[in-house]
Structure 1
Amino acid sequence: MRNKKLVILVSIVAVMAVATFILERNEDKKEAAKYMRLSVQADQVNEINIERTVGEAHEILDLKKTSEGWIFQNDVTPADSEYIKDLTETIQYADFEEVILAPGQTLQQFRFDKPAAHITIIDNLGRPNIIIISDRRNFEGQPYYRLNDEKNIYTLNTDLDKKIMNKIIFFQAKHVFKKQIEEFTKIQIQS
């Protein structure tokens, strides 16, 4: 009689342990399904194309990785490799969280037709990954993203948008986005 009670008790504990394991595994799968990561390895990125809109100005920046480091393709001047490494690592480890649309919400409400920035990242195999940053933000101040022209909308809890939109020190230091404000006049000296 005592052995039967022990066997029943052990069986109940084993069934509860298996049920708990299965339920927790399903919850982990649901939690992981909410997040999306791009298939980008920071050390395999060869080109970055950034198109951004600041006010009325539309700015384009093409970066390419060479044997000497990162360069601006437009004027073949070196770029800040540390900043670009930080940018590519931020993109590699970014966990984009999917936004669940309410009934009646459409993609047009998030203004992806006129994005704040459009980033194309090309790896060493020539595969493009596209990140589109909307100028709309959620209540926490995070911008909305679209990835690789999917229909899903994401948010991101990192400073990727600030690196692209606000803190582009290396662009301004290289005078890529600055407009020429000086005009030179031709002076002819006769002797």
Structure 2
Amino acid sequence: MKGYRLNILAALLIGSVAAHAQNNKSADGIYHNADDFKNQKVAEELGSGDKLQTNRFFGGSQVKVVRDGQRNTLAKDDLFGYRQNGKDYRFYKNGEYQIADTAGFYLYKRNEFTAGRKGQVPQTVYYFSKSATSPLLKLTIGNLNKEYQEETNFRYALMDYFKTDAQLANYDAQLKTYQLKYIYAQHSKPAVAK
């Protein structure tokens, strides 16, 4: 009977530790570097009363964290990004880009103002990078061709499947992935983790 109780106690303890680890993975906070992001482990977790001010719309170079009324300022250049409301973001050249997908290569999106018929209108603009630390480039057929010169099968598939840059952002709800990511997975060499 003691062995049975000990097994139940051990199972509860392991479950409790696993639940805490799982909660920490989804916690809001700041990623200091790309490894923090890859491991889904925020380096500075934000509590329910804490605030993160990123100057998203003005492109400021600093992030402010407010805890218990105390303000701490961090440089965006010294950080990878942050997690807020279940979404991950990367800082790049003082801009903030939502990480939309990481399979094969990184896909980002953000709202930007573009010229419309009646002035400036917000539009979702997509970017990509080959790894978590490589430079961001606008998601265009031309930029993909330049970055993946060695991936001949992928480049030819791009020409077959996508006629405009806007089509690169098409999402397949049935496959639950971007069409571009599916094409990349089907036509690229096996990716090496970076």
TM-score by length of 2: 0.26
Question: Between Structure 1 and Structure 2, whose CA radius of gyration is higher?
Answer: 1
TM-score by length of 1: 0.27
Name the one with the larger strand percent: 2
Q: Tell me which of the two structures has the higher relative contact order, counting C-alpha pairs closer than 8 angstroms and 6 or more residues apart.
A: 1
